[in-house]
């Protein structure tokens, strides 16, 4: 029975993490679109800037809501860990973005969405078992 409760708890956290991810995806996609279309910044660099815009929002929402931690406790350490996990996921995201856009000919916005979905699990597991480990 304990394993079932553990699985339910992980599933609930993952669902919340995914909701936060949707919010951050919208932030990421909006910033990406604006930078590329209104400021003519290269889509790869724009995507990285969009990542930076979304990561702090992600940290705050996941700390308070998803993993239910005190935002004022170990903030610098946790943010550093969160940022590290997010940076690894972002670098993989950029690789996927480039591959899907340049080699498969997808529109950069479609490529970005697919890349975010692919890196979701890396982000969740890294943060669950390192950043927010109890």
C-alpha 47/C-alpha 53 separation (Å) is: 10
Q: Does the predicted TM-score (pTM) go above 0.75?
A: no
C-alpha 52/C-alpha 90 separation (Å) is: 9
Interval 94-106: pLDDT, tens: 899 999 999 999 9
Radius of gyration of the chain (CA): 16
* Banded pLDDT at 6 (limits 50, 70, 90): low
C-alpha 111/C-alpha 98 separation (Å) is: 8
What pLDDT sits at residue 45? 93
C-alpha 44/C-alpha 108 separation (Å) is: 9
Q: Which of 53, 56, 45 is nearest to 28 (CA)?
A: 53
What pLDDT sits at residue 78? 95
Q: What would the mean pLDDT of 61-88 be, rounded to a whole number?
A: 94
């Amino acid at each position: 029975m304990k394993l079932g409760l553990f699985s339910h708890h992980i599933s609930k956290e993952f669902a919340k993490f995914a909701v936060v991810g949707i919010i951050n995806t919208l932030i990421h996609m909006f910033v990406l679109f604006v930078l590329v279309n209104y400021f003519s910044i290269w889509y790869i660099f724009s995507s990285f800037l969009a990542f930076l815009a979304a990561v702090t929002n992600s940290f705050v929402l996941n700390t308070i809501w998803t993993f239910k931690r005190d935002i004022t406790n170990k903030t610098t350490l946790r943010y550093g860990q969160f940022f590290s996990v997010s940076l690894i996921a972002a670098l993989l995201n950029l690789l996927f973005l480039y591959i899907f856009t340049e080699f498969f000919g997808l529109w950069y916005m479609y490529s970005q969405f697919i890349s975010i979905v692919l890196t979701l699990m890396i982000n969740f597991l890294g943060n669950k078992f390192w950043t927010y480990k109890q």
